[in-house]
Structure formats: structure tokens, C-alpha cells
Structure 1
Amino acid sequence: MNSTLDIQRHDLAGGHVATVRLNRPERRNAFDADVITELTAAFQALAAEDGLRAVVLGAHGKAFCAGADLNWMRAMADYSWDENRADGARLADLLWTLAACPVPLIGQVQGDCYGGGVGLAATCDIVVAAHEAVFSLSEVKLGLIPATISPYVIRAIGERNARRYFTTAERFDAVTAQRLGLVHEVCTAEELPGKVEALLQAIAANGPQAVRASKRLIHDIAGAVIEPALSERTAKIIADVRASDEGREGMRAFLDKRAPAWQTPQ
């Protein structure tokens, strides 16, 4: 079986970046069981890599991800309830694996992003999209609902916007996606690689462990009730970070007016 993914790596500030691209341009990068399996395994492996600074999720061809593959959908039409439950669980596991990536995950969206493709984008920490990109939560057109992707999409665009786009299945452009909170930056297709590279360079300038800890902090604190116990918890977290080797090096470098060790070529 040919791989449905194209995975490449390049060096970045004493570490490396992985770029994972969906590689089914002839199918508009629609996903099926094989894509889900490969993508889950790829991100599980990346999560364990030492020196990983960031991951870029993109796609080859004109579309980012057109949602579910038609042939896969034809097969699903005859699934039993148990088969549908197991199938949904595999997609849910993929989305969680993406969202739990320990380093920043940058989505690079160059074209159509429909259905589950929106779910992929919503798991990313940062999304840059080309002006030509078009988005749609199109499930209700097929008599379905965006159940599995909903935790990530609602977190990205908010409940109020989800009430509209989950039920209308309207298409919306990249500028609208940015206004909704799904996309952070919009540019031309030609500018897209440069915008992503600039984000990678910004990440590389920061403490590697602090970046990872910031992702964990957001996951742990977002939505938490602000109360004395939370204040005490965050005080302990900052104490741990300040007392770490990287935290001490960062503060000393700042006071000494020099570049920290992670910015110095080895």
C-alpha cells in the first residue's frame, strides 16, 4: 500500500521540525480508514521524538482535506451500529492525538477544507490559510452531524458560531474563518510557505521546554474555575519552571544581555 502521507523533517535551532502532508491529491486528500490509521501512527511517533520543536500539517494538491472519502462513505452506509461506533472511535483517537501533540502544531491550509478537514484544522494550535481556501461543516447535507470533530471545532469557533455553521452547512472563505477564530492568518497561496516558516522561526527563538510547558498549561487551565486552588496551582507551576535549567538559563541570558543557549549554534 502506498503511503497516504508525505513526512519530511528539517533542522531548526538545535532541534527539528516535521512537516506532515496528506498525500492523496487525486482524492482531494479526503480521508478513509487507511489515512486515519497512518496519521494517528505518525503523530504518535512524532510525540516521542527528542528535539522536535514543531509540526506542520498540510497537504499536497489543490485541496487541504475534502472530508470523508466517497468510497469509504459507501462502505459506511452498510455498517452496523457497532461498526460505526468503532469507526467513530478511530477518528476520535486521531483528533485527540493531533490535539495532544506536545509541540506547536501549525495547520497550512491551501484549498478546500470540508467536514472532517475542518476538524483537522481545529486541532492545530495555529492555522494559516490561503485566500483561496474554502471551509464547510457539510455533514448535515448528508443527513449526518459533525459529532466527532465537535469538541475541537466548537472550542475554535465558539458555541454561537457553531449553531449557525453546524446547521446550515454554508461554505465560508478564509477571511470568515479568521473572524470565527478557526484561522489565525490569511495570505496568498504564494505567501503561505513563508508565513509558516516565519512562525517556525518565532517558535525556535523560544525555550524548547517552555514552549512544550505552555501547551500543557493551556490544556490544563483553559476553562478552569478561577479560585484559590487554581492560583496555588499556577504559582507552583511557575516555581517549577523558574527553577528548571532552561528557566535559569533564560533569565541569566536576559540579565547578561546575551542570547540564551538554545539560540546559540552547537
Structure 2
Amino acid sequence: MFETITLDVDPRGVAMLTLNRPEKHNAMSGQMIDDLTQVAARLDGDAAVRVVVLAGQGRSFCAGGDLGWMKAQIAADSATRAEEARKLADMLGILNSLSKPLIARVHGTALGGGVGLCCVCDKVFAADTAMFGLTETKLGLIPATIGPFVVARMGGGNARQVFMSSRPFDAFEAQRLGIVSTLTTSQGLDAAVETEVIAYLKCAPAAVAEAKAMVLVLGQAPTKTTLDASIKALVKRWEHPEAHQGITAFFDKSIPPWG
């Protein structure tokens, strides 16, 4: 039914939600954003679903934004750019507030929007070989739309260490920064996730949902105001010459003006 994701629910009510663009390292296209929004709404309203595990097919968890999608933004007008950013913000928002526990199973790379997906999960299990990065500034962009969710997860002090430099960082640093909850070997990843799933299956479903809702309130989850500000910042950044220079240089395999 979905073009870019798969969904399998086992008899226990455990939903395996898998990003399924392995040839693109599961980069998020406009279609994937739509698919994730739809499936999140479905899962949220399905009383039979107790836990959701988010994973990636192939060699990567999620390599961020689809480059073709980003290239299209260069030619788009401000209203279209804002509309696309709003779709991403809404998708992250519904996953963030999902009334079921959302567990990430991370391997390979998690870049840009992939980090954003990690930051809307309740717990993130990562292989100790995984690599992370907020690489937008290298392209002349900023991690704007994912920003409220990333900063809510990491805290301002931790975010400042990786938010601006586009420097890749390993799973151990990702754990120190608060993105990753638990590290394991690649071979032990599924077993670690399963242990967490079993713990949730022993809990009262409505109590779990209400406890999560309370955490979101107490932890000051991103608000419409902060999301609106992030979208406005991204639209402004797209209009800066650096954005065009950075994306063009990437596709031309050349060096942008800033090196």
C-alpha cells in the first residue's frame, strides 16, 4: 500500500515500520514523508498495536533528505518551500506524539532527517558501528525543521556541539549527546530491541499512552510556535545564495565557495 515504507504487525501487536528505499539509503523524499504521516495516523488509532519499532532497510537507517527533493526546492517559490517544510514538521510531530512506544533500531548512517527521526523516538537502540551527522550547513542549509525535535531531545548545550559544524560523529558520541539510548553490536541489535519490546508488552496500554503524554507535557515538546519559527527560518535560508551554491556544488561534485 505504501511506496517507500513497509509495515508488519505481529500477533503480539508489535508493529515493525521499515523505511524502504535501500537504493537511496532511505533518504526522505516527499513521498516518504507522506507515507510516514499516513502510517503514523493509522498506528495511533489502532488499539491492537502495542509497540512500534522504526528501522531502515538495506545498509542505512536514513541518510537524511532526498537530494532530488532538495534540488527541487531550489526552483520552488517560498510558499512551496514552506508547504514542504510543514509536511516534514507535521510528520515528525505525529511520530513524536504517537500514543504507542516508538523504538528506533539504527544501523549504518543516520544523517539530517535521520537524526530527526531518532529524536522523536522514545528509545533509540544503535549498532556501535552506526554514524550520525547534522550535515545541512555544509550544503548552505540549516537543520531547521528537525531542529525543535533535535534540541528537545539533546538539550541546547549538546546540540551546539554538532548542530552547526556538519561534523559526522559515531554512535558513542551520539549516546553521550542523548540521541542514542543504548549501544550494542550489529549482531545484538535485534535482541536488544526485543528485550525492550517485551517490557512494554507487560504494561497496561492505556497507562503507557498516558505516561508518554505526560512526559511530552512536562518535557516541553515542540510547540506550533517553535515549529512555525523553524519553517520560517528554513524558507529564509533557501533564499540565501549559499543554499543554491551549496546544493549546486554537491551535484556538480565541485567545491562550494566556503571550501
Cα shift readout 1:36-76 (whole Å, capped 9, x = no counterpart): 00110011111000122110010101110001111111211
Tell me how many residue pairs correspond in the alignment. 221
Q: Work out the CA distance in 1 between the residues paired with 2:51 and 2:112.
A: 25
Q: Work out the CA distance in 2 between the residues paired with 1:159 and 1:95.
A: 19
Q: Work out the CA distance in 1 between the residues paired with 2:198 and 2:145.
A: 33
SS in 2 for 1:49: coil
Give, as a single letter, the amino acid of the residue that structure 2 aligns with 1:200: V
Q: Work out the CA distance in 1 between the residues paired with 2:66 and 2:213.
A: 33
Does structure 1 residue 179 correspond to structure 2 residue 138?
no
Question: 1:114-193, aligned counterparts within 5 Å?
Answer: 114-193=111-190
SS in 2 for 1:146: coil
Does structure 1 residue 108 correspond to structure 2 residue 120?
no
SS in 2 for 1:169: coil
1:221 CA drift (Å):
2.1
Larger Rg: 1
Q: Which runs of 5+ in 2 are unaligned?
A: 222-259
Q: Work out the CA distance in 2 between the residues paired with 1:53 and 1:47.
A: 10
1:182 CA drift (Å):
0.5
Does structure 1 residue 71 correspond to structure 2 residue 61?
no
2:128–2:172 Cα contact (<8 Å) kept: yes
Higher-RCO chain (CA-CA 8 Å, sequence separation at least 6): 2
SS in 2 for 1:57: strand
1:216 CA drift (Å):
1.0
Q: 1:163 to 1:211 in 2, by over 3 A?
A: same
2:2–2:35 Cα contact (<8 Å) kept: no
Cα shift readout 1:15-55 (whole Å, capped 9, x = no counterpart): x0111000000000001110000110011111000122110
Range with greater deviation from structure 2 (117-126 or 205-214): 205-214
SS in 2 for 1:11: coil
Cα shift readout 1:153-186 (whole Å, capped 9, x = no counterpart): 1011110121121111111111111111110001
1:87 CA drift (Å):
0.6
Q: Work out the CA distance in 1 between the residues paired with 2:151 and 2:70.
A: 24
Q: Work out the CA distance in 2 between the residues paired with 1:223 and 1:84.
A: 27
1:124 CA drift (Å):
0.2
1:121 CA drift (Å):
0.6
Q: Which runs of 5+ in 1 are unaligned?
A: 225-266
